Chain A
Amino acid sequence: MAEELVLEFEVGGLDFAAVGEASGGVKRALQQVGMGASVVRRAAVCAFEVETNIVIHATRGVVRARISPERVVVEAEDEGPGIRDLELAMREGYSTAPAYIREMGFGAGMGFANMRRCSDSMEVSSEVGKGTRVRLVIEVGKP
């Protein structure tokens, strides 16, 4: 695609201090590009969720935003334990986050539910012991 802007953010596992950098960057870029408020918000939520997932569960990863006039794609790839049971992980309220992380207010098991709510399509694939990939598409035309 000709008019595609790719932004990439490295995210470190357990780097809670940096949570919000990737999603903040994606949000700012989308605002500067002139996307509508709802697209900006949905993409920011998606980026935030994939970003926190990496921080909570993985050793490291990357969050990428592909921005074109038609759609915003938020992708995440991480190196980490992967997800054993994808179906279970997608369930609202289900979380494998340890207690100390939940105490910080993260890992409430709403991540995938939020991603689904805010995206028009969602693909998740994972390999145990290797890592997880997430791809979320937000169509610009849709509300």
Chain B
Amino acid sequence: MTREEGGYFHSVRLDLDKCKGCTNCIKRCPVEAIRVREGKAQIMQERCIDCGECVRVCPNHAKYVVTDGLERLQDFRYRVALPAPAFYGQFRPDVPPGGVLAALLKAGFDGVFEVAVAAEAVTLAIRAYLERGMPRTARPLISSACPAVIRLMQVRFPSLLGHIIPVETPMEIAARLAKEEKAREWGVTPREIGAFFVAPCAAKVTAAKQPEGSPVSSVDGVLSMSAMYAEVLRRLPDVDLSAELHRSSGMGIGWGSAGGEGRAVGTGTVLAVDGIHNVVTVLEEVERGTLADVDFIEAQACVGGCIGGPLAVQNPFISRVRMRRLVEEYGGRAPGAGEAEVRRRFRQGFFDMVRPIAPRPVLRLDEDVTRAIRKMDRLEKTLARLPGLDCGACGSPTCRALAEDIVREKAFETDCIFQLREHLEELAERMVQLTRIVPPALSRERAPGGGGSGDPERRD
């Protein structure tokens, strides 16, 4: 998988054969990136934020997430698995994290490194960042952990990008730490090690293939959590469930479900919001400046957090209970990441995002403001003629979106069935009128209903 030619890499794809053009997906997309044209959905590549809403909502399973297959493991001499904290919550209560890790080892990995441990390091780094930067930076600060939220902000909330905490995500930090640690342990170079993230979602795949805060990601492959769930299940009978492989504490495991990150960071007023549409409403408030009393926002695109990711298997409400129990069980442990060490490396910039997250102004109608204003004017006038029912029958999510598509020359006003009906009505009337027209060569008597002047009725 590489970046698509000149475009933006997307992990959310469409299976044209399965798509029935039912328009279920167009309504759920938070950035109005889907249209149905000629009976099939289309994802507007430049807009999509890979949140996976459409994957979840499609009744025909036509939307899917591309991940790497296990055969990618062959590309590396040594491989390490990086399970997302939410992965632990997928299994029955009698399967401890250590057992999950042991099973992963049997599935073709030479080592495991828990993303939960990296999440602990990131927690400590965020605390260090907050202590340092709090008074000067924009408030409230927004977590960088959910890549779908970051991409949402690039498209819809560019003015808030400066609020994002420029600390790298647990996934990224896990890959870096894992390579360092295993290279030392195995006496090999980090380049020989492939780091494979076990992902709950499409957005993480995109973040690994096309990172925002750093030019390249240390993650070499992204495996689907649901695929790895099956791999682990298959091997569980053969593993020692009490294997001493698990290091993370409740602090890091908690990151796997909504609210956990905020609880871990634990300083100041924390607002935790989950579900992409809820995130939109909270970010709108931030934009209005009404949340100045909040210090830190943990925002996750999926309902329930990563346990609700589109690649998760378990019902998120059930895994939430499971996650909560794990957090309690390992809550008393010292974090797997050492505080002094994290602080030292934080000062050295190990956790920093090295480049600012840039806006993606894909919503604008034209590069040129004057022309865009003119188009906006046309858009409003077009919209005024549409029925305002937002029925979606035209294949655009709302009447406004159709008006926008018309202005962008991607649709016609007659794509609206109501507009079409009106046009047909006019056309029918016109046809009736046309039938009354008598060709000049015919006699006056034969003209149906024709009277008065000899001239045929001509209207236009």
Contacts and interface: CB of A to CB of B under 8 A. Distances in A.
Contacts of B284: 20, 24
Interface in B367-406: 367-370, 372-374, 376-377, 379-380, 404
Interface stretch (A30-38, A53-61, A84-92, A122-130): A30-38
B287 A32 contact: no
A112 interface: no
The A interface is mostly helix, strand or loop, or mixed, namely: helix
B132 to A, nearest CB: 25
A119 interface: no
B178 to A, nearest CB: 36
Contacts of A27: 287
Contacts of B380: 5, 7
Contacts of A69: 369-370, 373
Interface in B345-378: 359, 361, 363-370, 372-374, 376-377
Contact of A32 (B159, B290, B367, B372): B372
B289 A33 contact: no
Given A24-B284, A48-B288, A3 B363 contact: no
Interface string A109-133: 0000010000000000000000000
Interface in A2-56: 3-5, 7, 20, 23-24, 27-29, 31-35, 37-38, 40-41, 44-45, 48
Contacts, number: 64
Contacts of B370: 3, 69
A107 to B, nearest CB: 12
B158 interface: yes
A114 B289 CA distance: 9
Contacts of B377: 5
Given A23-B288, A31-B363, A34-B369, A40 B159 contact: yes
A4 B373 CA distance: 7
A35 B379 CA distance: 17
Nearest to B288: A48
A95 interface: no
B260 to A, nearest CB: 27
The B interface is mostly helix, strand or loop, or mixed, namely: helix
Given A3-B373, A20-B284, A31-B361, A41 B367 contact: no
B365 A34 contact: yes
Contacts of B372: 32-34
Contact of A34 (B156, B288, B366): B366
A37 B363 CA distance: 12
Contacts of B290: 105
B364 A34 contact: yes
Nearest to A23: B288
A41 B287 contact: yes
A5 B159 contact: no
A32 B369 contact: no
B369 A35 contact: yes
B150 to A, nearest CB: 15
Contact of A33 (B156, B288, B369): B369
A23 B284 CA distance: 10
Given A3-B374, A29-B376, A37-B359, A45 B158 contact: no
Contacts of B161: 37
A69 B366 CA distance: 13
- Among B156, B161, B377, B379, find the residue whose CB has the most chain A CB atoms closer than 10 A: B377
B54 to A, nearest CB: 21
B349 to A, nearest CB: 27
Interface of B: 156, 158-159, 161, 284, 287-290, 359, 361, 363-370, 372-374, 376-377, 379-380, 404
